[in-house]
């Protein structure tokens, strides 16, 4: 099964607020750049890549988590990273996806990947 179909299935299996939150985050992430590729990695989690890994997101019992692979190296001017241990954007029931802030972090992650790729070519 294609990764996009796997992600569609995950969302469909959660017809509550969690599926809706993951679907909305997915829409925002994919709207940032047409080159973003969806994957199904890390033992069955939706992932997005562009010039390297960007974000892994998944549905949990009481939250939806979006983990930025290199989040520690990203500025978070809107302060949406709220995970307790890692650079995560966690959504709880009733939360609204901050589209502008999420898109900004995705752009920063893409830029980080591209800069890292360019640096490795010059070495």
What's the chain's average pLDDT?
93
CATH architecture of 3-121: Alpha-Beta Complex (3.90)
- Which region among 10-14, 79-83, 84-88 has the lowest average model confidence (pLDDT)? 84-88
* Res 123: pLDDT: 66
pTM check: above 0.85: yes
Strands (E), 1-123: 37-41, 45-49, 53-59, 64-68, 88-91
- Straight-line distance from the first to the last Cα atom of the chain, in angstroms, rounded to the nearest whole number: 38
Which position has the token pair 């980080």?
112
Q: Is 83's pLDDT higher than 80?
A: no
Q: Is 68's pLDDT higher than 80?
A: yes
* Helix, strand, or coil (residue 69): coil
Q: Where are the domains of the chain?
A: 3-121
Confidence of residue 85 (pLDDT cuts 50, 70, 90): low
């Amino acid at each position: 099964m294609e990764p996009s179909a796997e992600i569609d299935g995950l969302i469909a299996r959660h017809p509550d607020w969690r599926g809706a939150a993951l679907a909305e985050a997915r829409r925002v992430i994919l709207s940032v750049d047409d080159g973003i590729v969806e994957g199904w990695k890390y033992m069955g989690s939706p992932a997005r890549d562009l010039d390297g890994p960007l974000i892994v997101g998944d549905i949990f019992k009481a939250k939806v988590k979006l983990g930025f692979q290199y989040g520690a190296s990203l500025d978070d001017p809107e302060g949406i990273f709220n995970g307790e241990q890692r650079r995560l954007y966690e959504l709880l029931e009733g939360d609204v996806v901050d589209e502008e802030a999420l898109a900004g972090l995705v752009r920063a992650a893409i830029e980080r990947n591209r800069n890292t790729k360019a640096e490795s070519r010059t070495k």
